[in-house]
Amino acid sequence: MAEVGGGALRAYRALLGAQARSQAAYRTSFVVDLVGNLGATVFDVVTVLVIFGVTRELGGFTLRETLVVVGLSSCGFAAADLLVGNVERLPRYVRTGLFDAVLVRPLAALPQLLLMDLPLRKVSRAVFGLAVLGFALASAGIDWTPGRVALAVVAPPAAVVFFASVFVTTATVSFYWVDSGELANSVTYGGRDFTSYPVTIYGGWFRALFAYGMGFAFVSYHPALALLGRADPLGLPAWVGWASPGVALVAAAVAVVAWRVGVRHYRSTGS
């Protein structure tokens, strides 16, 4: 690995450049993709607005407060999807044996996979997510303190790291279960939907599992509470809102271990 340090960087840059050029060659397709991806995120926010059209509050939170939760979630998810969302194609690569080709090249497997299709089209989503977060923070009537400013800066990247870890961890399931299909979606897209609402609306073990077992409550709900200066109706202390970077790092560590173990476990499906 050591002797290829500079060479590896150059190789990644070449992969990246090839992707960018090939996508720019089909302008219409690129614009259509850009618009389509934007639409998907817009509809997520529209759904929240429609639901607030029939109710004044959701789980004890008003629309303006909920939008902070939505903004953190959609900004974090969209950026993570942009950076590592490609890894959700892993099941197909494993099934078709394409992953063999990735492994025999003298570069690390994960970066190669991510660069096999640079989804520039997803940029529109991430920008929209950031815009929603900006609007929500500006309109929620937050009492800005230096601590909250710092949290508003740190929480979105923490959400990105967290969702990116979720993408990688769930994709490794296909190393063990080749035909797992859309199973990973239940945690990735399911996690996005879960984090788009205050966790107070969920009940029982389902909330315990997603919010605290998998840590999704720390992505948007607890940081939003800390930003809004609201006490947690579920009784956790206020400092939990600042725990999101720590939780994100733990998630990243889990993802790294899951990936390493998974790749080692990988056996080609052959052909």
Partner 1 sequence: MGSVTATVASPTDGHVTPWFRTFGAIVAAGFRRHATYRQAAVAGVVTNTVFGFLRCYIFLAATDAAGTVAGYDRAQLATFVWAGQGLLAVIAIWGWTELADRIRSGEVAADLLRPVHPVTNYLAVDVGRAGFAALARLVPPLVVGPFFFAVYLPRHWATVPLFLLSALLAVVVCFGCRYLVNATAYWLQDVRGPMILWTLGSGVLAGLYFPLGFLPGWLEATLRYATPFPSLLQVPLDVLVEREPMSTGLGLVGVQLGWAVLLLALCRLVQRRAERRLVVQGG
Query: Based on CB atoms, which residue is closest to partner 1, 16 or 34?
Result: 34
Tokens of 150: 């710092």
Query: Based on CB atoms, which residue is closest to partner 1, 59 or 246?
Result: 59
Cα 259 to chain centroid, rounded: 17
CB of 53 to partner 1, least distance (A): 6
Of 131, 84, 107, give the one whose Cα is nearest residue 12. 107
Which stretches of the chain bind partner 1, using CB under 8 A?
26, 28-29, 32-33, 35-37, 39-40, 43, 46-47, 50-51, 53-55, 58-59, 177, 179-183, 185-187, 190, 193-194, 197, 201-204, 206
CA distance 221 to 46: 19
CB of 62 to partner 1, least distance (A): 13
Query: Based on CB atoms, which residue is closest to partner 1, 126 or 151?
Result: 126
Scanning the structure block, which residue is given the tokens 């974090």? Answer: 76
Query: Based on CB atoms, which residue is closest to partner 1, 37 or 244?
Result: 37
CB of 8 to partner 1, least distance (A): 32
CA distance 186 to 170: 9
Query: Based on CB atoms, which residue is closest to partner 1, 37 or 74?
Result: 37
CB of 120 to partner 1, least distance (A): 14
CB of 185 to partner 1, least distance (A): 5
Query: Based on CB atoms, which residue is closest to partner 1, 56 or 106?
Result: 56
CB of 131 to partner 1, least distance (A): 19
Determine how many CB atoms are found less than 10 A away from the CB of residue 135: 15
Query: Based on CB atoms, which residue is closest to partner 1, 39 or 157?
Result: 39
CA distance 104 to 123: 31
CB of 207 to partner 1, least distance (A): 8
